[in-house]
Structure 1
Amino acid sequence: MTLPGSPFLAYRGTDLFLDDVRLSDLVRQHGSPLYVYSRRAMLAALAPYQKALKGRPHLVCYAIKANSNLAVLQTFAQAGCGFDIVSAGELARVQAAGGDPGKVVFSGVGKTRAEMQLGIEAGVRCFNVESTAELEVLSEVASRLGRQARVSLRVNPDVDAGTHPYISTGLKGNKFGIAHEEALATYKRAATLPGLEVVGIDCHIGSQITDIAPYLDALDRVLDLVEAIEAAGMPIHHMDLGGGLGITYTDETPPAADVLIGQLLQRIDARGHGHREVLFEPGRSLVGNAGVLLTEVLFLKPGEQKNFCVVDAAMNDLMRPALYEAYMGIVNVNQRAEPGQVWDVVGPVCESGDWLGRDRTLTVKAGDVLAVLSAGAYGMTMASNYNTRGRAAELMVDGAQVWVIREREAVKSLFEEERLIK
């Protein structure tokens, strides 16, 4: 049976393994729900980016929002990556994981003055600025510190990435970036502000993109701007082309990272910009298929219209299905020969939107362990404590080695910062 993430995730006989670790053993040892990630799978997903960019100035900045566990960040830092952050909290995680702030690009549409100051003092490589108002405030903060903040402007190219509207970021109706037609004037304004040093241009059009064409369309618009900006006397040292490459959840066929980058570099070279440093900000494509969420079946509840398979993981553990109606594969970690039935896989949270998968054919009984596939991205980072539920534990595997990289959250810890009125 072919599964997303193979060859790192595969059945051996009737048992599902991630790397060389039997997943059912992990639930017996560490409980459920449980996130499990493969370090080997993450590095294998990074390799095509690094291969395609070898020999030219570049930086791969892992987008922390996809999966921010310190061990994940450590893995990418040790592999030479920089980081794309969107908060001071994520900057603190980079530092705690041993990452280099000088390889950090600070993105986000709503940076506070405090976050700007922390970024400047830490020495982040660049701020990706998303509005004229942000430029003014960043210059003010940097000037007060007696420093200059390095900036690139995030340009909104008005290109449809062909993805879910919640994760599309490059259209005029999105909150992100500076309108393409306003970009040149905004660069001219940035060049006059004393606290800023203009170093680059940034563009990010969305997430879970499975077609090369939107990237090429956006790149052409970015290159048009680079030429206009430099003609106006402002050098552009780097081009940050964002991330957003999709993964296979079910039947998607996204291009390989090296194929995508190869076509982008070919277009860049053809237009005479091959000397520029290029930055990419992959997130989901590095970690999405490197992880699974394991969950135990509590009850089977057959019904007249629907059969419900009730598990101990819920929408607070994995928000993507409820938020995006996202499809994520679900399999039993122990295959059986008996024919399956059609089930809705649902959790115990008190919401009708608390489901992990609808209309799934499964051979299953109470006590079985299910694996929700492709759960390495936007799983734990979007988890909550709704219904006062502690968040899952997280494990990392590498071959037969297993590390606990986050302990299961104890219920008492959820309200230890709260106070009764006296």
Structure 2
Amino acid sequence: MPQSLSHSALIDIANTFGTPLYVYHAEKIKSQYEKLVNAFSNSDVVFFYACKALTNVNVLRYVRSIGASVDCSSVNEVKLAMHAGFTPTNILYTSNGISFEEIEEAASLGVNINIDSLSNLEKFGRKYGHSYPVSVRLRPNIMAGGHLKISTGHDKSKFGIPVEQVGDLVTLVKEHNLFIRGLHIHTGSEIKDVDVFLKGIEVLFEITPMFNELEFIDLGGGFKVPYKEGDEETDINLLATKVAEAFASHPNPNNRPLQIWFEPGKYLVSQAGYFITKVNVIKQTGSTIFASVNSGFNHLIRPMFYDSYHHIENISNLGGALKKYSVVGNICETDSFAWDRNLNEVSEGDYLVFYNAGAYGFEMSSNYNSRFKPAEVLVKDGVPHLIRQREEFNDLLRNQVELSF
């Protein structure tokens, strides 16, 4: 697999900061963002980094510095984004089955708000009427994405207002004089087929005439990134061409051009991330050689949760003979990263690096088995910077209220 940081650099970083360790390469994030900007240079497009993929405040600051806006899935992500320097106009908050009080808090911060239920939209209308522009998330009933758990636009998904309820939506808009500024869909993650986005556009263009104050259409994210040799990523240039053609042939009923919004998350940070572990134990059994590392699904849950594939290399022995290993963790559960994977011969103490670890790696980590969360490092201009300290024992006790018995 292509890589941005050299094996020797990763070994030096592991030796300096210890393992397990998340490492992010700033310039790779920038190059991914520039691919999007360049592809859509002839369209009026705004890219909101879906920060649920990775919210370290230093990554947020870096993403802001290269020109991206930010998409948030909770009011706390909104606050992190503001702490990182994003202005409210560059923050999109998409609610998902949350209390109306959280929407009120987001409104008090002045950010763009996207509402995904008729219930909360009615509450919003009662309180704000036409005074606060809002967008609505629709469920287009389109199946897309690399795994059912990351498909969000199908007809059994919890996300968005089903398109068959648009009549009820229009009734609410009229009743409360709502200012509907945008329409939003997001069909899933790992979408390689450009036609999925075009299907979503067609669904939205059937609805746009019902809203006379529209300013943008948000097509969500979900661009596919390659995880293994032979994987194809979303053809961003083709997508840009097709989207431009679609919007050119479907002008806004108000004769005002609609801005296009996208929400790339994994696309920006996945390939920029490396997860470095050290091998604790080699265990030979009758049919399998286990390479047990000093981590587990408490640090990288994607293989166990999504059956996801991460390319793994033994960067301590790149010239070694290839053997098949099952790479497993140290958690007291079935805890496997890879099964029957060809690796250069592995010895105890070797460093194994997991690629495509920038998205939903640290972000979904936990303290299961009372183990510490790992440190994080950001490499910028060739210099590694510690951006999160490795946890210590006192971190496990933080916020616990101890009683005497």
TM over 0.5: same fold? Answer: yes
The residue aligned with 1:269 is 248
* CA–CA separation in structure 1 for the residues paired with 2:97 and 2:314: 42
The residue aligned with 1:341 is 323
- What code does the residue aligned with 2:165 have? E
How far residue 199 of structure 1 moved from its aligned partner, in angstroms, is 0.5
Match of 2:338 among 350, 357, 360: 357
* CA–CA separation in structure 2 for the residues paired with 1:48 and 1:256: 11
Note the 1:155-170 alignment, pairs <5 A: 155-170=138-153
* CA–CA separation in structure 1 for the residues paired with 2:94 and 2:137: 9
Instruction: Please tell me whether the aligned partners of residues 117 and 142 of structure 1 are also in contact (alpha carbons under 8 angstroms).
Output: no
Answer yes or no: is 1:287 the counterpart of 2:269.
yes
How far residue 355 of structure 1 moved from its aligned partner, in angstroms, is 1.4
Answer yes or no: is 1:139 the counterpart of 2:139.
no
Q: What TM-score does the superposition give when structure 2 sets the normalisation length?
A: 0.94
* CA–CA separation in structure 2 for the residues paired with 1:348 and 1:93: 32
- Mind listing any 5+ residue stretches in structure 2 that lack a counterpart? none
* CA–CA separation in structure 2 for the residues paired with 1:220 and 1:26: 48
The residue aligned with 2:163 is 180
With over 3 angstroms needed to count, the CA separation of the structure-2 counterparts of 1:45 and 1:155, relative to structure 1, is same
With over 3 angstroms needed to count, the CA separation of the structure-2 counterparts of 1:67 and 1:419, relative to structure 1, is same
* CA–CA separation in structure 1 for the residues paired with 2:231 and 2:167: 37
1:293-342 CA deviation, whole Å, 9 max, x = no partner? 00001110011122110000110000100101111110012343331211
How far residue 416 of structure 1 moved from its aligned partner, in angstroms, is 2.2
* CA–CA separation in structure 2 for the residues paired with 1:162 and 1:243: 11
Note the 1:242-321 alignment, pairs <5 A: 242-250=220-228, 251-273=230-252, 275-321=257-303
* CA–CA separation in structure 1 for the residues paired with 2:250 and 2:179: 25
- What code does the residue aligned with 1:404 have? L
* CA–CA separation in structure 2 for the residues paired with 1:167 and 1:421: 42
Partner of 1:395, secondary structure, is strand
How far residue 215 of structure 1 moved from its aligned partner, in angstroms, is 1.2
Instruction: Please tell me whether the aligned partners of residues 43 and 244 of structure 2 are also in contact (alpha carbons under 8 angstroms).
Output: no
Instruction: Please tell me whether the aligned partners of residues 191 and 234 of structure 2 are also in contact (alpha carbons under 8 angstroms).
Output: no
- What code does the residue aligned with 1:154 have? R
How far residue 272 of structure 1 moved from its aligned partner, in angstroms, is 2.6
Q: Percent same amino acid among aligned pairs?
A: 29
The residue aligned with 1:92 is 79
Match of 1:408 among 390, 397, 403: 390
- What code does the residue aligned with 1:29 have? T
1:228-249 CA deviation, whole Å, 9 max, x = no partner? x14xxx3211100100001001
* CA–CA separation in structure 1 for the residues paired with 2:234 and 2:275: 25
How far residue 173 of structure 1 moved from its aligned partner, in angstroms, is 0.5
- What code does the residue aligned with 2:308 have? A
* CA–CA separation in structure 2 for the residues paired with 1:263 and 1:149: 33
- What code does the residue aligned with 1:175 have? K
Query: How many equivalent pairs are there?
Result: 399
Instruction: Please tell me whether the aligned partners of residues 194 and 238 of structure 2 are also in contact (alpha carbons under 8 angstroms).
Output: no
How far residue 258 of structure 1 moved from its aligned partner, in angstroms, is 3.2
Q: What TM-score does the superposition give when structure 1 sets the normalisation length?
A: 0.90
* CA–CA separation in structure 2 for the residues paired with 1:288 and 1:298: 26
Instruction: Please tell me whether the aligned partners of residues 377 and 384 of structure 2 are also in contact (alpha carbons under 8 angstroms).
Output: yes
Answer yes or no: is 1:112 the counterpart of 2:90.
no
* CA–CA separation in structure 2 for the residues paired with 1:364 and 1:379: 24
Instruction: Please tell me whether the aligned partners of residues 167 and 207 of structure 1 are also in contact (alpha carbons under 8 angstroms).
Output: yes
Partner of 1:289, secondary structure, is coil
1:94-142 CA deviation, whole Å, 9 max, x = no partner? 01111112111111322323321221111102x2211110112223454
- What code does the residue aligned with 2:341 have? R
- What code does the residue aligned with 1:419 have? V
1:204-226 CA deviation, whole Å, 9 max, x = no partner? 00011111121111111111111
- Mind listing any 5+ residue stretches in structure 1 that lack a counterpart? 11-15
1:32-91 CA deviation, whole Å, 9 max, x = no partner? 000000100000000122123335433210001111111111111112221111111101
How far residue 160 of structure 1 moved from its aligned partner, in angstroms, is 1.5
* CA–CA separation in structure 1 for the residues paired with 2:245 and 2:395: 52
The answer to which of 147-156 and 214-223 deviates more is 147-156
- What code does the residue aligned with 1:265 have? A
- The CA RMSD measured in Å over matched residues stands at 1.7
